[in-house]
Each structure stands twice: as structure tokens, then as C-alpha cells.
Amino acid sequence: MSQKIIINDVTLRDGMHAIRHQYSREQIAELTRLIDSSGSDIIEATHGDGLGGSSIQYGFSKEDEETIIKTAVENADHAKIAVLLLPGIGVIEDLERAHGFGAQVARVATHCTEADVSEQHIGKAAALGMDTVGFLMMSHRTTPENLLEEAKKMEAYGAQTIYVVDSAGALTMDDTRARIALFKEHLSDSTTIGFHGHNNLSLGVANSIAAIETGAQRIDASLAGMGAGAGNTATEQLAAVMNRMGIEHNLDLYKTMDAAENVMKPMMERPVQIDRLSLTLGYTGVYSSFLLFAERAGKEYGVDARDILTRIAEMGAVGGQEDWIIGVAQDLAQEKKVHS
């Protein structure tokens, strides 16, 4: 491998989902210091649904956006701080504010077929001089060829890095390779390719490695996999595998292990793991942050949360449509009554 792999840590963004966006300022500070000192190159810190995500729909953040971003900025010595923005949820003004707070990386996310809603946001981030990333979520929902077309749009808008994002943890290794390979072949040589994995099918590390082998240079990871669903690619596990394979990176294996074990795991409210629900996410291809919402609705309406997720998958819900879950739970409860 000619260049070092850049690690974009998502413990403080995707990990927000797993803790219902309730990290305190102190926790953000402690985690930032640990992630920074263990070698991650970029640290993303925002509400799980990005700038402007704090809401009834997705859950309110414990700390406001300014506190989250500034705390991360102040506690990182080496790593650049990233923010996520989903057009439709956050707006350009949010991005400008985040930039003012010290964020240097902007990751603009759309559903895999809807890149054209990101033109203004990517353009703005690039104009601000930010490290600008296009983030194509739910990449399993479209063909590698279509995904490439959407990636080209983001590239044309000014994104310097484009990600294949496996939001549902539903890609197999062949699926990952096919997407990254097309990006590698057809995007500009100066465009960096990234991969964001979820571990719902236990393929977080495997898919990340497949992506690296096919040409990805930026990989998302989090301490102990802290993230939505069964979590993301665990930093310490990825570091161990990269070491064994001779893939270069800036992570310190022991430090990532210690941070995961001593600090991250005790902070978890619900174990971030592969269980029947998170496995169902990957199996049916549902956006990982739907996990806790489906679990709660299942309990409340007395239906199997797996049935909720399966129905949601059939309806083709995309990221951000958590509000569909209650309606589905009501329908399933009604059907159950009719049949009994």
C-alpha cells in the first residue's frame, strides 16, 4: 500500500445513535482525547443525524451543537474535526456555523440515489476551504453503476472524497468491492475513495479491508464499534487486522484497545453488538439507526420488532424516516388483533 490509510473516527457521531445522542460534554472531551491520542486522523462529532438533527423525530441531543463541536475541537491535538450534514435535515447556515466553531471536514450525506440535493452544500463546504466529502448512504440500495453516477455528481459539485456508505450493514464483500472498484476506475485520480461500514452482518472489518484492497483510502471506524445498529467497524479490530496485513495507518493498537475496553464499553447503554434485531437490520437492509426506535415501538405495541424492520424494508424506507416506524407498529398490532 503506497499511502497510509486515513481513519475517520465516528464514535462521536454514529455513536450518538447508540447513546440516544446523550453524550455529555465531559464524555465528548474524554473520548476526543483518547481517539486523538490513539491516532485517528479525523474525528466526526455531531448529532447522529448530522447538523440540525436534534429533534423530536430523531431525539434531542444532550449538548447543543456548539458544545459538541467546540469540545471536540478543543480536545484534539492532531485530528481534524468533521461534521455530518444531511441536506433536508441540516442547512447551509448550520455548516457555516460549524465551520466557525472549528470544524475542518464537511461530510455531506444523501441517500444513494439522491446526490443532486447536495449541490449547494458541497459547493459551500468546498468554498469554505473545508475537506469536503460526499457520503452516499444506503449504498446497497442501488447498483454499483448507478452509485457511480451519483458519485460523479458529488465530484462535480466539488467533493474531494466520495464514500460508499453501508448504512444498513447490508453489503457483502463482493458488493463492497464492486462499488469501490467502479469508483476507483471512473472517478478522478485526485478523488479519494472512502468506506463507512456497519457490523450488522459481522462484515464491518471484512468490508473495510475489501474496500482498502480495492482502492479506498479513507475508512470510518469507532471505538468498540460504537454506532447505530450492531455498530460500525471497530477501530481496535481494524487496527489489529491492518497490522497483520501490513497495511499502513496511524493508529496505536494498544491505545485503541484500551480506550475501547476501559472507557467506551462502560459508557454504552445498550450493548452495541450483533443480536437478533441488529442482525435483522443487515439481513433486510434497513438504516441502522432504526434499531432503537423499532425496539421501543415493538415493546409499546406488543409486536416483534423484527417484523417492524422487515415491513420497513419492504416499504423501502430511507435514512431519516424513523417516523414510519410507529405507523408500521400500529398496523402490525392491528393485523395481530384481526388474526387472533
* List of residues contacting another protein (CB under 8 A): 52, 55-57, 87-89, 91-93, 111, 113-114, 116-117, 119-120, 141, 315-321, 323-324, 326-327, 330-331
60: part of which helix (H) or strand (E)? none
CB of 110 to another protein, least distance (A): 8
CB closer to another protein, 91 vs 247: 91
Query: In the complex, what is the shortest distance from the CB of residue 126 to another protein, in angstroms, rounded to a whole number?
Result: 16
Contact call for residues 85 and 121 (beta carbons, < 8 A): yes
- Least CB distance to another protein at residue 335 (A): 14
Q: ∠ CA 313-45-317 to the nearest 5 degrees?
A: 10
Tell me the three state secondary structure of residue 5.
strand
| Three-point CA angle 285, 290, 294, nearest 5° | 110
Pick the closer one to another protein by CB: 87 or 169: 87
Element (H, E) at 134: strand 131-137
For another protein, give the closer residue by CB, 80 or 107.
107
What is the Cα–Cα distance from 125 to 155, expressed in whole angstroms? 13
Place of cell 457511480: 148
In the bound complex, what is the minimum distance in angstroms from residue 324's beta carbon to another protein? 8
**Cβ-based neighbours of 250, under 8 Å, separated by 6 or more:** 4, 7, 39, 40, 41
Select 273 or 330, whichever has its Cβ closest to another protein.
Answer: 330
Of the residues 17, 111, 140, 196, only one is catalytic, namely 17
Look up residue 197 and give its three cell numbers.
Answer: 461500514
* 78 flagged as catalytic: no
Q: Mind telling me the catalytic residues?
A: 17
